[in-house]
Amino acid sequence: MNSNYPVLEIKDLKVSINENEILKNLNLKVNKGEIHAIMGPNGSGKSTFSKVIAGHPAYSVSSGDIMFKGSSILELEPEDRSHLGIFLAFQYPIEIPGVSNEDFLRLAYNSKQKFYNKPEVDPLEFLSIIDEKLKLVNMSPLFLSRNVNEGFSGGEKKRNEILQMILLDSEVCILDETDSGLDIDALKVISTGINNFMNENKSIILITHYQRLLDYIKPTYVHVMQDGKIVKTGSANLAKELENKGYEWLTT
Amino acid sequence: MVKKSNKSLNKNITQLINKTYQYGFSTNIEKDIIEKGLNEKTVRLISEKKKEPEFLLKFRLKAYKKWQQMSEPEWAYLKFPQIDYQDITYYSAPKSQKKLNDLSEVDPELLKTFDKLGISLNEQKRLTNVAVDIVFDSVSIGTSFQEELSKSGVIFASISEAVHDYPELVEKYLGSVVPIGDNYFAALNSAVFTDGSFCYIPQDTICPLDLSTYFRINDQNSGQFERTLIISEKNSSVNYLEGCTAPQYDTNQLHAAVVELVALENANIKYSTVQNWYSGDELGNGGVYNFVTKRGLCAGTNSKISWTQVETGSSITWKYPSCVLVGNDSQGEFYSVALTNNYQQADTGTKMTHIGKNTRSRIISKGISAGKSKNSYRGLVSVRNKALGARNYSQCDSLLIGNLSNANTFPIISVQNSTSKIEHEASTSKIGEEQIFYFLQRGIGIEKAVELMISGFCREIFTELPLEFAAEADKLLTLKLEGSVG
């Protein structure tokens, strides 16, 4: 892996689910230190895009490649992609009954430690690690004893995703509509969390419908995805333009 | 390619599914067998071979007559081909039945079998504080720590021994909780039972060791019909554990056991089972048909009977460990995890019959269904008119894994007075691809993910199991399920 390569590079990616082609020749290059916002109408393939990068087994790649620091990750299992440094904050974080958030977070943390031959931490050590991170997203330690996402409000679920992102300290983070369903206060907390997390060694891909999030997080590039490919790329101003004009003007 | 990774995930899963049942071997040993088939002669022959007293022969013949007039129960949510009762061997015992003075005299081939199963018959077992009785096909081949136990007056023996050494106790209690004609399989068992365990805890005694019976079906065509009888006298208590395995055959073996528990005043019986009979292959061929009647009688005031079961094996499970709460203030408990995979079918639950005043019962049932299996909870809480102030709490949770499995609950509640309090809670949840993917995305492997979800789901039950059983149960469930998700 060479630092001259982009952290993430998507080349002519074609993806289908149940014989339905969703991504059609998608290209994207993400360098470290960059924030890319991907916008686009419903059904344009944004969520598919995020899941394919993470290696969701329901999708099949018919051609093209996904490169992480210059090497293809198409053959890698989802957990190995995660260990390498790819994180996906889910649009709809799923509930996991019977498993406490604390156990889940510790296991995730230790799996990564193990992958890098670093010592795993015991529950006590972990508590002091997670305690700090909780403060960053303004969450009470009480939520550690609750089951993963079970009975969480929409805002809590999203904050939990950001908490995991911070904990795993991944290099490439894809946030799939992390802003949807949040009130203004929660949006501020989450944006602050993301901004504090971001630095010159990290990259973030924000999938969003709204300009609102981009008031808090300044993107390096804004892309418009339509019908499975990126149809326009621009600066932060493009988002404002979209907010005013909608998507239709792009196709006409 | 993602497509490939999907494939390799599936391959991984298949490998895990096909992990062989590690107890599937059979032991080659000389056997004494009664010809296949069942008639009055067979019943007499069994009794004769075991040199039984007259009362037991009468008991058996009466049961046989009852059985002939009965028919298989059809109300359970189970589907299986007609069982040919004439095609079963009703008595199969390892030869060389000279009386053993010591467990070291047990046939070395048998000892090897039990070593392989991880049960040591020698006195080292003492370290774990468990006395073991071993039932191999039709007979008990040895009981450890008998001497030790007898010092405190505890009788722990095979039921055949007990019939000879303590006939008055056996005659008094045998069939007192599960009457001869209680149901089709209980009647069959009463007619042809060959061995099992007998425990008697005298008054004011806390049994110094956990007692345990290990059942093993070895013969391909044998049925296993064991009979267990536990009597806990006034102010006594006992912990009893039961384990079972069988070799892997492509035919079905019939297992029809009866377990009777009697708790007198202030007595406390805790009965735990980890059932791991061979469950058939991934296409549903072979496996044990498990039709078991387990019932406890809380005869005395303030007595308590607690059933804990972890059901993972058998191709068919038909089993309802129950409590009859006669004594005032007596308590019944039922804690169950039933796991089915592939084509397994389980119809299991409990019956709590409240007869005495202020009787209490608690039912916690967890069903896990994976593959194409069917898993049903069937329960009856019956509060009679004199059971004033009775209380019951039931909780039935189902966990579905994949899209092809099936979970049902059939709770029946019948209350005949107005001072009782009944609570029933139920839930259904699912482990699907999206949950697994969530774990994977966070870097947690599929096996660990399933293990975590299952042990979370079963936590309330596992805490009821004795320590060494709890660890085993946790491993067993994970092993049984590995790869059924994807």
pLDDT at A3: 62
Could you tell me if residue B326 is inside a domain?
A: no
DSSP letters of A120-149? Answer: PPPHHHHHHHHHHHHHHTT--GGGGGSBTT
Q: Which residues of B touch A104 (CB under 8 A)?
A: 442, 444, 452
pLDDT value of residue B409: 92
Query: What are the angstrom distances between the C-alpha of A232 and each of A36, A52, A221, A228, B97?
Result: 13, 21, 10, 12, 88
Q: Does residue B438 belong to any structural domain of this protein?
A: no
Of A59, A61, A98, the CB nearest to B456: A98
Q: Is the pLDDT of residue A98 over 80?
A: yes
Domain that holds residue A179: 8-251
pTM of the model: 0.79
Q: Within a domain: residue B369?
A: no
The shortest CB-CB distance from A107 to any of B2, B437, B452 is to B452
pLDDT along chain B (486 residues), means of 10: 38 41 66 82 92 95 95 89 88 61 58 59 46 65 72 90 94 96 95 90 92 73 85 95 69 87 97 82 82 96 95 88 98 94 91 97 94 92 97 94 88 96 91 90 90 85 76 71 58
Q: Which residue from A57, A59, A164 is facing B442, i.e. has the nearest CB?
A: A164
pLDDT at B380: 96
Q: Is residue B444 assigned to a domain?
A: no
* Closest by CA position to A179, among listed A206, A160, A201: A206
In a domain, A1, yes or no: no
Q: Give the closest-approach CA distance of B472 to chain A in angstroms.
A: 20
* CA dist list (Å): B90 to B32, B38, B217, B219: 11, 7, 12, 11
Tell me if B410 is assigned to some domain.
Answer: no
State the pLDDT at residue B103. Answer: 55
Which 8-state DSSP code applies to residue B127? G
Q: Give a yes or no: residue A36 inside a domain.
A: yes
**In this complex, do B437 and A97 lie within 8 Å of one another by their Cβ atoms?**
no
Nearest Cα residue to B384 out of B347, B336, B417: B417
CB A121, CB A113: distance < 8 Å: yes
Of A79, A94, A104, the CB nearest to B440: A79
Cβ neighbours of residue A124 closer than 8 Å, sequence gap 6 or more: none
Of A75, A79, A93, which has the smallest distance from its Cβ to B445's Cβ? A79
Give Cβ neighbours of residue B172 (< 8 Å, ≥ 6 apart): none
Domains: count for chain A: 1
User: Is residue B464 a part of any domain in this protein?
Assistant: no
User: Which residues of chain A have a CB within 8 Å of the CB of B1?
Assistant: 60-61, 74-75
Put simply, the answer to whether B442 touches A60 (Cβ < 8 Å) is no
Rounded Cα distance, B246 and B223, in Å: 11
At A237-251, the pLDDT tens digits run 888 888 888 887 776
CB–CB of B470/B478 below 8 Å? no
The pLDDT score that the predictor gives to residue B214 is 75
Count of structural domains, chain B: 1
Rounded Cα gap, residues B249 and B293, in angstroms: 24
User: For the residues A42-59, what does the mean pLDDT come to?
Assistant: 93
Instruction: Please list every residue in chain B whose beta carbon sits closer than 8 Å to the beta carbon of residue A15.
Output: 2
From chain B, which residues contact A within 8 Å (Cβ)?
1-6, 8-9, 399, 429, 433-435, 437-445, 448, 452-457, 459, 486
Torsion of CA B30, B34, B37, B38, to 10 degrees: -140
- Looking at every residue in chain B, the average pLDDT score rounds to 83
Q: Distance (Å, rounded) from C-alpha B344 to C-alpha B275? A: 14
| Interface ipTM | 0.95
Residue A54 to residue B441, Cβ atoms within 8 A:
yes
Q: Can you give the CATH number for the domain in which A220 is found?
A: 3.40.50.300
Does residue B245 form part of some domain?
yes
In a domain, B130, yes or no: yes
Q: How far is B383 from chain A (nearest CA, A)?
A: 32
Please answer whether residues A148 and A100 qualify as being in contact, where contact means their C-beta atoms are separated by less than 8 angstroms.
Answer: yes
Contact between chains at B435 and A94 (C-beta distance less than 8 A): yes
Residue pair B263/B234 in contact (Cβ under 8 Å)? The answer is no
* Best to test chain A binding among B2, B428, B436 (most A CBs inside 10 Å): B2
Residue B378 is predicted with a pLDDT of 95
Measured between CB atoms, which of B5, B434, B456 is closest to A77? B5
Taking an 8 Å cut-off on Cβ atoms, the answer to whether B444 and A58 are in contact is no
**Which of B437, B441, B460 is the best mutation test for A, with the most CBs of A within 10 A?**
B441
Q: What are the residues whose beta carbons fall under 8 Å from the beta carbon of B316, sequence distance 6 or more?
A: B78, B80, B287, B288, B289, B290, B291, B344, B345, B346
Residues of chain A with Cβ-Cβ distance to B460 below 8 Å are none
- Residues spanned by the domain of B251: 23-319
Q: How far is CA B356 from CA A107, B119, B389, in A?
A: 49, 41, 9
Q: What is the pLDDT of residue B342?
A: 86
Of B2, B438, B453, which is closest to A74 when you measure between CB atoms?
Answer: B2
Buried-state track A97-131, b at ≥16 Cβ within 10 A, e below 16: bbbbbbbbbbbbbbbbeeeeeeeebeeeebeeebe
Which tokens sit at B191? Answer: 């007619």
Exposed, middle or buried by CB within 10 Å (0-12, 13-18, 19+), for B166?
Answer: middle
- Taking the CA atoms of chain A, what radius of gyration do you get in angstroms? 18
Confidence check: pLDDT of A4 > 80:
no
Q: Tell me which residues of chain A have a C-beta less than 8 Å from any C-beta of chain B.
A: 15, 52, 54-62, 74-79, 82-83, 87-88, 90, 93-94, 96-100, 103-104, 107-108, 111-112, 115, 147, 164, 168
Contact A61 B6 (CB under 8 A): no
